Structure 1
Amino acid sequence: MTEPTDALSLARPRRRRVLQAAALTAGAAALPFAAAAPATAAAAPEFLHGVASGDPLPDGVVIWTRLTPAPDATPGSGNGPDAQVTWQVATDRNFAAVVVSGTVTTTAATDHTVKVDVRGLLPATTYWYRFTVEGAASPVGRTATTPATDAALGRLRLGVASCANWEAGYFSAYRHLAARGDLDAFLFLGDYIYEYGTGQFAARGTVVRPHAPAHEILNLADYRTRHGRYKTDPDLQALHAIVPTIAIWDDHEVANDAWSGGAENHTPGTEGAWADRVAAAKQAYFEWMPVRPSIAGTTYRRLRYGKLADLSLLDLRSFRSAQAKAGTGEVDSADRTITGRAQLDWLKAGLSASDTNWRLVGNSVMISPVAFLSLPGYLLRPLAQLLGLPSEGLAVNPDQWDGYTHDRRELLGHLSSHGIRNTVFLTGDIHSAWAADVPNEAATYPASGSAATEFVVTSVTSDNIDDILKVAPQTVSLLAAAAIEGANRHVKWVDLDSHGYGVLDVTPEQVQMDYYVLSDRTRRDATSKWARGYRTRTGTQRIERVWSPR
C-alpha cells in the first residue's frame, strides 16, 4: 500500500527549514514577547513544523500543520497576523485528483496551528494532503482511512513508541519507523514531550540537545514553545508525514506523576494553580497534536479497524486519585481510582460490546502487577528512581495500576465474568520493555489463569536503568531482570536497558509485538535492530516467545 522510498523523501523536510524552525523556537524562549523582532514586509509565510495526520476513521482523518506567517510568529510568542490557509486532500501525491478542500483562518489564538477534521472520505483509502498560503506550500503528507466497520481485515500493523525526551537524544526511532513503509498507523503511548528545564533530565546527566524554553514549562506560552521545538525534529516530521498518528498522553505532557489534583513535579506556592497549568498544557497539546479531542476534552476515545480490532485509548491522568503513600493500605481502597468512574464504565461497556477479533487497549501505565522487594538494595534504589518508587523500597509502583488495585480487579473481573477474550494492553511509561500475562490473581498464577496480555515498549530516549547507574547496558540490569521475572511468574521478559520502539502486528490468529533497539540514542545516525518478539494467540490469553519478526 505504501511507496516507502518516494513517500519518505516527500515526508522529509528541507534541512534549512528544520534548522530555521529550531532557531526560531529557541529565539522565542530567549526573548520576552515585547523584544521579538518585527516582521519584515518581504518575509513570506512558511510551514516550518511539518505536517501530520491522526485519528483515522472509515470516512475521515484529522490533518495538521503549523504556519509561521511572519519571522516573529514563533511558537508561544503570541505574535503574527491572521492568515487564510487552504488545505487539500487528494488520491494522488501530485494533487491531480483533489477530492476535498477548504480554507481556514489561523491566528495567534491557536498559536497559528491548523487542524482540520476532514470527513466524506472513502474507507481503506490512501490519501495525500497539503496546505498552502500566499503561494507557499507545506510539505506533502500521506495518510489513510480505516476500513469499514464490518470489513474483514487480514492484517493491521502499528508502530508503537513512548517517552521521547528531547534533551536525552535524537529521535532515530521515528526515522526507522518512517522508513519501514508497512505501517498502518503510529501509536504513541504517552510522554511525547517532557516538562523539565534544561539539564534536569538528560542522557546520563548530559544534555544532548537543549530544550526550548530552557526553564521548566508552566504556562501556555511555555508549553507551546516546547511543542514547537519538538516539531522541528526531522525524524519526527518524517514519521508524522508518512502515516496517521494515534496518541494518548501520560504525565510529562503536563508534569511528572500527575493526578487529577496535582503532581509530584508541581509546587502550587511557586508554580501557580495546578488547574491553570493543566489547562495550558492541554490547550497546547490539542493545538499541536493531530488528535481529535474526545470526551470532555480528554484523550480517551475508541478507534476501529474493521472486524479485526478495536482500540480503546485511555486517559489515566485526568481523573485519577493521588498516588498512594508508602507503607499504607491505600492501594486497595475502593475510594481511589486511576480511570475515574465514567471512563471505567465506558471501557467495560466497549469491551463487552466489541465484535472484533481483538480488543486492544492503549494504556499509558503498566496494568500487570509487579512486585520488587525481591531485589537487593543496590538494584532496588536505581529501579525506584526510574519508576518513582520511594527510595526505601515498596512492593509495588503506586503510579501504575498496582497503586489502584480496586479498579484493576473490577476491570479484570469484568473480562473474566463476561468471557471477554483476546484483550491486549499496549503500554509505555517505564522506560523498559516487558511482555507479560495479566493474571487474574498474581499470587496463584498460573493456576488462576490470565485475563489478558500486555506488551510494554521502552523509551525512545529517556534514561533507563543502565543510564541511571552509568554502567554498560545488559550488565548489572540482567540481575534485576532475572529477579523480577523470578518473583513475578506472569512476566515472561523484561529489558531494563534498551531504547527503541515496537512494531505490533495483528492478524485474526495472533497479535505479535516485535521489539527493536537503537544502537546509540545520542547519535543522529543510530541504527536499529530486532531484539525480541512475543505473541499471544487467539483464545489463549498467554504470552509466548517467537524467534523472528513478522
Structure 2
Amino acid sequence: MTESPDTQSPARPRRRRVLKAAALTAGAAALPISLSGTATAAAAPEFLHGVASGDPLPDGILLWTRVTPSPEAQPGSRLGADTEVTWQLAADRSFATLVATGTVTATAATDHTVKADVRGLTPDTAYWYRFTAGGVSSPVGRTRTTPAADAPLDRLRLGVASCANWEAGYFSAYRHLATRGDLDAFLFLGDYIYEYKSGEFCARGSVVRPHAPAHEITTLADYRTRHGRYKTDPDLQTLHAQVPTIAIWDDHEFANDAWSGGAENHTPGTEGDWAARMAAAKQAYFEWMPVRPSIAGTTFRRLRYGKLADLHLLDLRSFRSEQVKTGNGGVDSADRTLTGRAQLDWLKAGLASSDTRWRLIGNEVMISPVAFFSLPDYLLRPLAKLLGLPSEGLAVNTDQWDGYTHDRRELLGHLKQHGIKNTVFLTGDIHSAWAADVPEEAATYPASESLATEFVVTSVTSDNIDDILKVAPHTVSLAAVAAIQAANRHIKWVDLDSHGYGVLDITADQVQMDYFTLSDRTREDSATKWARSYRTRTGTQRVERVWSPVK
C-alpha cells in the first residue's frame, strides 16, 4: 500500500559535498523452526549487497536490494527461506516523515533480490529509503525523482562510466563519483560485469582480486554469483546508495561480442544453447540491477528530465546481426542490422517527436566512423586485440556502428531530414576516451556537415592499449592516436591509455563532458584527477575543447 507522498522538495544539489555513508543498523533475530521441528537459533537476515535505486520518473522510482536470509543463501545457491522485506521511503534521512511503505517477499526464485516500483511521488524531489527484514535494517539510500515533463530545468549532471572488470582492479571511480555530491544520476553504459574465467582478462595479466565463480559464467547460477560478487564492492555500494542509477547492458553482461544468435566467447558444443545462456544472463541482470525491463524484456527505453533533455537508452546486443569479417563488404548490407527494425523505428520516432533542448542517446558502441589506417604492426595487433578483431588488415571495428553502416546511414539521414539538432551520443565499450563529431560523410569532413556529437568514456578498470603492451601510459600509444586522428578528421581527441569516468553537465546552452582519470586502478585508495573537457554548444553539432571542468 502506497501512501500519499510528501510535497516538500529539498533543494536540488548543485555543488560538491561529501555525503556520509549510512551505517547498518543491527536488529533482533527471529528463532526459525528447523526441518526437524525444533526451534534453533539462526543468524539474522543480512543486507550484504547494499541498496540501489534506478530509472527515475517524475512520479516514481525503482528501489532495489538483496537480502541474505541465512548464511547458506549465497547468490546463485537457490537456497534460503522466503523472507518478508519491508521498504520505506521518507522525505528525510531520519525517516521521521514516511511518504510510502510496502512489503515484498524475497525468494530463491529471484535469488532473494527484491524491487519496489514506487509511484505517486512528487517530481524533482529527494527521498531516502531503506529495507528491513527480521528486525535488521539495510543501509540507507538517497534518490531523486525527475522534474515534471514540462518543467524548466537549468542544469542536469550525470556521472558516466563503463567497463568495470572486477579482476583488473578496484572500483575507485565509483567512490569518486559518489563523493561529489552534485550528481542527479549515474549513467552506466555497459559491461557492468565480465563473463570470463579467472585470469583470462585481468590487469596486465595479473589478477588484482579474484571473482566468483572462477570459471566462465554460462548458467543462471553463474551469472547470479558473478553479479553478487560485484555488488560486494564497497565503492559500488556507496555510489548506488547516493544517486539513482540508469543502466544499459553491452556484451560482457552476456559474452564477448554478443549478437542475437551467439558470441565470440560462446562455444555451443561445450557451453550449451546460446538462447538459454542469454536468457539466463538477462534474468540475472534484471534481478540484480535497479532497472525496469522494457520493450521485449530488453533495456531500450526512454527517460526525460523536464524540458532540458530526454535520454534514449539502446540495446545493441539483443537484435543485432552477426559481426562480419573485416573487408568482406558485408558492413554495408541492408540485410544486416545493429538495432533491429523495431528499435530503430522507436529511436527515430522518439528523436523526431522530442521537444526538449537536448537529445541524449545511451549508446553501447561507438557510432562515429573510425578508420584504422597507417598503423604499424606493433600497434595494429594490440589495438585489434582490444577491439576483438582480426589482427591483419584492420580497417574498421565491425562490432561498432562501422560494421552496420546501413543502420547508421538511416539514423543520420533521419536527423538531417527532420532537422533534428542537439543530438549527443554517450558511449562506452572500447576502454578509451574519445570526443568526436558524427559527420554525414567522414571522407569529406569538414566540408560535409556534422549531424551529431559523441562522447566516449574509458573503462573503470578494464585493460586498454598500454596495459596490453605492458608499457607506460601515453608513450607507445601516442603513435596510434596520431594515426587515428590523421585518418579521421572528425575525431577531436583520443586517450587510449587511461582508466576513469566522466561527468556530463547539461545546460540549455551546452553539453560538456569532463573526463577524469585514476592514478592506479590496482589500489583501493586510487586518487583521481581531471584530464580533459569537451563540449558541444547548442545548434552547432560539433565538439570543442574546454580548458577547465564545470564547477
TM range (shorter): over 0.9
Match of 2:236 in 1: 236
Identity %: 81
Stretch moving more, 97-106 or 161-170: 97-106
CA distance in 2, matches of 1:430, 1:221: 28
Match of 2:399 in 1: 399
TM-score when scaled to structure 2? 0.94
Q: Is the 8 A contact 1:84 1:106 kept in 2?
A: yes
TM-score when scaled to structure 1? 0.94
Match of 1:86 in 2: 86
Match of 1:307 in 2: 307
Match of 1:24 in 2: none
How far apart are 1:343 and its partner, in Å? 0.1
The CA deviation string for residues 355-383 of structure 1, in whole angstroms up to 9 with x for no partner, is: 00000000000000000022111111110
Give the 3-state SS of the residue equivalent to 2:235 in structure 1.
Answer: helix
Give the 3-state SS of the residue equivalent to 1:386 in structure 2.
Answer: helix
Match of 2:486 in 1: 486
Match of 2:35 in 1: none
Give the 3-state SS of the residue equivalent to 1:263 in structure 2.
Answer: coil
Q: Please give the residue correspondences for 1:65-84 in structure 2 after superposition, counting only pairs within 5 Å.
A: 65-84=65-84
Match of 2:450 in 1: 450
Letter in 1 for 2:494: V
CA distance in 1, matches of 2:95, 2:406: 53
Whichever structure has more helix as a proportion of its residues is: 1
RMSD between superposed Cα atoms in Å: 1.3
Match of 1:108 in 2: 108
Match of 1:388 in 2: 388
Unpaired segments ≥5 residues, structure 2: 1-11, 27-38
Please list every run of at least 4 consecutive aligned residues from structure 1 whose deviation after the TM superposition is greater than 2 angstroms: 1-9, 39-42
User: Structure 1 residue 280 and structure 2 residue 280: aligned?
Assistant: yes
- Cα distance, 1:86–1:322 mapped onto 2, change above 3 Å: same
Give the 3-state SS of the residue equivalent to 1:431 in structure 2.
Answer: coil
- Cα distance, 1:40–1:508 mapped onto 2, change above 3 Å: farther
How far apart are 1:9 and its partner, in Å? 2.3
Q: Is the 8 A contact 2:505 2:513 kept in 1?
A: yes
Match of 2:20 in 1: 8
Letter in 1 for 2:471: V
Letter in 1 for 2:368: S
- Cα distance, 1:353–1:470 mapped onto 2, change above 3 Å: same
Q: Please give the residue correspondences for 1:354-433 in structure 2 after superposition, counting only pairs within 5 Å.
A: 354-433=354-433
CA distance in 1, matches of 2:139, 2:191: 26
Letter in 2 for 1:62: L
Q: Is the 8 A contact 2:163 2:428 kept in 1?
A: yes
CA distance in 2, matches of 1:361, 1:423: 7
The CA deviation string for residues 164-197 of structure 1, in whole angstroms up to 9 with x for no partner, is: 0000000000000000000000000000000000
- Cα distance, 1:6–1:487 mapped onto 2, change above 3 Å: closer
Matched residues, number: 526
Letter in 2 for 1:199: G
Letter in 2 for 1:118: V
CA distance in 2, matches of 1:357, 1:178: 27
Match of 2:476 in 1: 476
Match of 2:32 in 1: none
Give the 3-state SS of the residue equivalent to 1:447 in structure 2.
Answer: coil
Q: Is the 8 A contact 1:13 1:238 kept in 2?
A: no
CA distance in 2, matches of 1:317, 1:156: 28
Give the 3-state SS of the residue equivalent to 1:262 in structure 2.
Answer: coil
Match of 1:21 in 2: none
How far apart are 1:326 and its partner, in Å? 2.5
CA distance in 2, matches of 1:56, 1:353: 21
Match of 1:35 in 2: none
Match of 1:20 in 2: none
How far apart are 1:110 and its partner, in Å? 0.2
CA distance in 2, matches of 1:5, 1:363: 30
Letter in 2 for 1:487: A
Q: Is the 8 A contact 2:189 2:363 kept in 1?
A: yes
Q: Please give the residue correspondences for 1:34-433 in structure 2 after superposition, counting only pairs within 5 Å.
A: 41-433=41-433
- Cα distance, 1:376–1:528 mapped onto 2, change above 3 Å: same
Q: Is the 8 A contact 2:52 2:63 kept in 1?
A: yes
The CA deviation string for residues 280-336 of structure 1, in whole angstroms up to 9 with x for no partner, is: 000000000000110010000000000000000000000000001232000000000
- Cα distance, 1:375–1:69 mapped onto 2, change above 3 Å: same
The CA deviation string for residues 184-231 of structure 1, in whole angstroms up to 9 with x for no partner, is: 000000000000000000000000000100000010000000000000
Give the 3-state SS of the residue equivalent to 2:221 in structure 1.
Answer: helix
